Amino acid sequence: MTDLLLQCLVAGRHAAIPASDVQSVIEIEEITPIPGTPDFILGLTALRSQALTVIDCSLALGLDKTVAEDDQRAAVVEVEGHLYALLVDAAYDVGEALSQPVAVPGGFGAGWQRAARGMVETESGPTLLIDTSSLIAGPMEEAA
Partner 1 sequence: MDDLLADFVAETREMLEASGGEIVAWEADPSDRARLDTIFRFVHTVKGNCGFFDFPRLEKLSHAAEDALSECRAGRREADNALVSAVLAIIDRISEMTDAIEAGEEFPEGGDDKLIAALQGSDDIVVASAVMPEAEPANDQHAGEADNDEGSDIESSAPKPARAQAVQRSIRLPVDLLDEVMKGVSDMVLARNDLSRRLREAGEQPTIDGPFDRLSTILADVRAAITRMRMQRLEHLFSSLPRLVRDLSNELGKQVMVDFEGGEVELDREMIEMVRDPLTHIIRNAIDHGIEGPGERLKNGKREIGLLRFAARQAGNQISLVVSDDGRGIDTDRLADKAVAAGLYSRSEIDRMSDRRKHMLIFEPGLSTANEVSSVSGRGVGMDVVRANIERVGGSIDVVSKPGEGASFHLKLPLTLSIIAALTVGAGGQRYAIPRSYVEEIVFGSSSNVEFATAGDRRLVTFRDKRVPCLALGDILGIDEIDDAEWDSKTLVLIRLASDDVFALAVDRVFDHEDVVVKPIAPAVMETRLYAGTTLLDDGRPMMLLDLPSIATNRLHMGEGRTTEVVEEEVVEKGRKAVPIMLFAGLDDRKRAVRLDMVRRIDTVSREAIDIEGNRAQAVIDGSVFTLLGLEFGELPKDRCRLLRLTDGESEVVYAVNEVLDAADMDGEVIPSQDDPLIEGVTLVGDSLVPVLDGHALFARQRVQRRTDDVLSCRIPGDSDWARTILEPLVEAAGYRIAADDGEDADVEIQLAEIAQPEQSAGARSVIRLTQDPDNAGADGGTIYRYDRDGLLAALKQARLGRTA
Q: Could you list the residues that contact partner 1 (CB under 8 A)?
A: 30, 32-38, 41, 43-46, 48-51, 53, 80-82, 84, 136-138
* Closer residue to partner 1 in complex, CB, 84/112: 84
Quote the least distance from Cβ 60 to partner 1, whole Å.
Answer: 10
Question: With contact defined as beta carbons under 8 Å apart, do 89 and 11 qualify?
Answer: yes
Quote the least distance from Cβ 127 to partner 1, whole Å.
Answer: 26
CA distance 81 to 95: 26
Quote the least distance from Cβ 144 to partner 1, whole Å.
Answer: 11
* Closer residue to partner 1 in complex, CB, 35/125: 35
Question: At 140, phi and psi to the nearest 5?
Answer: -70, -35
CA distance 114 to 138: 10
Question: With contact defined as beta carbons under 8 Å apart, do 14 and 120 qualify?
Answer: no
DSSP conformation class of 66: P
Quote the least distance from Cβ 28 to partner 1, whole Å.
Answer: 12
* Closer residue to partner 1 in complex, CB, 7/45: 45
Quote the least distance from Cβ 19 to partner 1, whole Å.
Answer: 22
Question: At 100, phi and psi to the nearest 5?
Answer: -75, 155
* Closer residue to partner 1 in complex, CB, 93/142: 142
* Closer residue to partner 1 in complex, CB, 19/51: 51
CA distance 81 to 3: 23
First to last CA, the chain: 37
